[in-house]
A and B are shown apart, each in its own frame.
Chain A
């Protein structure tokens, strides 16, 4: 069942089309990366999903309803949209207490979420003195305050140092493990690649790809190089099974169109020893760029 549904969603700001007939679904209990370069329309899409921006056309639903129609929305959806979305003169604890009042959660929950994002020590400091990373953590604490089943996070890794990014990855994994639905945007695939189940890739307002991370990883694998004393026999075997195999040295075969697991199993069946296997992949990031560059090229030829 889809927790988030986006149908034919379009937003125009005057002559600029920020989001163009976008459609995708996010399954309940999945962690989905919402990716695209800066200016792709990610933030506008998320704001339409959360009822903050009125779509020009189409709809964006959470649990089958527009956000504005959700009863007790803070208990259904937690969101991080703006790193600076806090009054600078207010302490972190009071910032959360104001939201706790709105969400009808006990004050003790404020301490719990402060602890969860490692801000207990800074709880009584004014937000104006926080670093960008601390503000992001406070934003996450705010989103988690009412223990929502859906989380919408817009570039939560912005401003986090490498340790913070690792902390965020662990948090996303933990949230996914708890069965929550998470839609997390980023313009850097690597930031979220280790935490997401699937990806929605957007460029210039258009959907470029919507796939499982495994599919994207498969695309990224590229060529496989195998070292074996029976190179010719392995080449013939793989060719017979539909892969493209080329001899590139006395003991080396280069394979495309097959995974390391598939090649390994076939070789084992025929008792072909494999001494070494390595992938010469494009890398996920390159696949991401290929997809968005292709979309850009398509756009420029229109």
Chain B
């Protein structure tokens, strides 16, 4: 399995798409973190001032984009095999398709971890630059900042793995990418906004809470910043997203993965 995962990791490293997605994720993170930092302390912004722990945390945890883009990387790694007809070579080398999926899941999770880490460092950097610019003291301790950075890496790693399951199941890159963004930006914002009690159990939201993002912090539209409910404990949130990974992989292994490769 190590050999397979290494090969899949090598494939990812030699795909330009991965670097493009990482850069896009980092740029969007910087942009949205800057926006939140600019709004912090405003009367109608709903974002606490940057000299408070809550205000600074809102900015330094703008890492939701890394989770979406990690999922896209997973989708690309899995569905790209069918788009570029490379599944033939992959399955000739490893006829056990379930093992291939597990290796891809591991590689995507690793890539997702990098996405989360980079995004969290960017968001933290933006937050600290704004704090320094205003001459405030840093309201969050090093422990909290590091925990949020590590949480972002875990959340994005899990969402990278989700993307691989989704890409294997759908086999269409476009459908996979659309599903990721529509689910994270529209469906969860809508459900989470309407039913705040369900919100902690939605997978994308659960992944974002791992990174210290407040409930509603990663939502778009009216649901953004909407308070209500408590996030799941770290282990429970991680287990929930991991359960989704296992479910998607199991369905893919039982259905689409065993289709003829023509």
A-B contact pairs, 22 of them (CB 8 A): A50-B92, A51-B91, A52-B92, A52-B260, A67-B95, A68-B95, A73-B92, A73-B93, A73-B95, A74-B92, A82-B85, A85-B85, A87-B80, A87-B84, A87-B86, A94-B10, A94-B14, A97-B14, A98-B14, A99-B93, A101-B3, A104-B3
Q: A47-B262, A85-B89 are in contact. Are A97 and B10 (CB under 8 A)?
A: yes
Report whether A88 and B84 are in contact in the complex, using a CB–CB cutoff of 8 Å: yes
- A6 → chain B, closest Cβ, in Å? 17
Q: Say yes or no for A245: interface residue by CB 8 A criterion.
A: no
Report whether B86 and A85 are in contact in the complex, using a CB–CB cutoff of 8 Å: yes
Given A68-B96, A86-B86, A87-B14, output 19 extra A-B contacts at Cβ < 8 Å.
A52-B91, A52-B261, A68-B95, A73-B93, A74-B93, A84-B84, A85-B89, A87-B15, A87-B80, A87-B84, A89-B16, A89-B17, A91-B14, A97-B14, A98-B11, A98-B14, A99-B93, A102-B3, A102-B7
Q: Say yes or no for B54: interface residue by CB 8 A criterion.
A: no
Q: Say yes or no for B227: interface residue by CB 8 A criterion.
A: no
- A17 → chain B, closest Cβ, in Å? 15
CB neighbours of B7 from chain A (8 A): 98, 101-102
Report whether B84 and A101 are in contact in the complex, using a CB–CB cutoff of 8 Å: no
Q: Which 10 A-B pairs have the closest CB atoms?
A: A102-B93, A68-B95, A101-B7, A53-B260, A52-B261, A94-B14, A89-B16, A85-B85, A82-B85, A102-B7
CB neighbours of A54 from chain B (8 A): 258, 260
Q: Give A12-55 as 1s and 0s: 1 = Cβ < 8 Å from B's Cβ atoms.
A: 00000000000000000000000000000000100100111110
Q: Say yes or no for A136: interface residue by CB 8 A criterion.
A: no
In the complex, A81 Cα to B85 Cα: how many Å?
A: 10
- B83 → chain A, closest Cβ, in Å? 9
B-to-A contact residues, CB < 8 Å: 3-4, 6-7, 10-11, 14-17, 80, 84-86, 88-89, 91-96, 258, 260-262
> Chain B residue with minimal CB distance to A91?
B14
CB neighbours of B10 from chain A (8 A): 94, 97-98, 101
In the complex, A98 Cα to B16 Cα: how many Å?
A: 15
CB neighbours of B85 from chain A (8 A): 82, 84-85
Inter-chain CB contacts under 8 Å: number: 79
A-to-B contact residues, CB < 8 Å: 44, 47, 50-54, 67-68, 70, 73-74, 77, 79, 81-82, 84-91, 94, 97-99, 101-104, 142
Report whether A89 and B15 are in contact in the complex, using a CB–CB cutoff of 8 Å: yes
CB neighbours of B260 from chain A (8 A): 47, 52-54
Report whether B262 and A53 are in contact in the complex, using a CB–CB cutoff of 8 Å: yes
In the complex, A74 Cα to B53 Cα: how many Å?
A: 57
CB neighbours of B92 from chain A (8 A): 50, 52, 73-74, 77, 79
CB neighbours of B91 from chain A (8 A): 51-52
In the complex, A301 Cα to B7 Cα: how many Å?
A: 53
Report whether B3 and A87 are in contact in the complex, using a CB–CB cutoff of 8 Å: no
Report whether B261 and A102 are in contact in the complex, using a CB–CB cutoff of 8 Å: no
Report whether A81 and B16 are in contact in the complex, using a CB–CB cutoff of 8 Å: no
In the complex, A51 Cα to B262 Cα: how many Å?
A: 11
Report whether A102 and B94 are in contact in the complex, using a CB–CB cutoff of 8 Å: yes
In the complex, A294 Cα to B11 Cα: how many Å?
A: 48
